[in-house]
Structure 1
Amino acid sequence: MKHLTEEEFRAGYRKAQLIDVREPKEYEGGHILGARNIPLSQLRQRHKEIRQDQPIYFYCQNTVRSGRAAQMLKRKGYNDINCLKGGFKGWTGKVKKK
């Protein structure tokens, strides 16, 4: 698992599976453009929705939940896992709100 700066994250997330592991209300309040919402609380049941053959880019509000999500998938055999350093709070790129 790699912790990426915003610049590194930005460079690769369009070619990866971008996953927001925050709860739906947080996601609807604003998320990175193109992100799918799979909350950490549902990841154990929904991890099969995530492909193993493509890079995974996780983010949450800070970094705690994305780190937990990465550890969970690592135990299930996933390899190319990246987390946004500082989380959504520090994101300066495009944001979509519902």
Structure 2
Amino acid sequence: MPGSGRKPAAPQYDLSLNEFYGVALDNQEWTTLGEKQMLVGTASNANGVMMKLAAVKDLAHWNYKPEAAFIWDFFQDYQRNTENGALIINSSEE
């Protein structure tokens, strides 16, 4: 991927880097969501942050009511051009 600005995929998972995803994330930190602990971090490339990941500790894989605002906060930055299908990413850094 030289010149693409993308980081190469990790050759293998290392749970010492991140107990949920097995890869180190940028800006990785523990925070709280309601009464739950959450490990959050971002995946970035040369264009900046492309994805924010969050793993809620001790929570099965379904939505947790207080998480709705967090989910909206993430997805509100992404749109589709309805005429040509292009992805539009709204940057908060503008």
So what's the TM-score if we normalise by structure 1?
A: 0.28
Higher strand proportion (structure 1 or 2) = 2
User: Which structure is higher in RCO with an 8 Å CA cutoff and minimum separation 6?
Assistant: 1
Higher helix proportion (structure 1 or 2) = 1
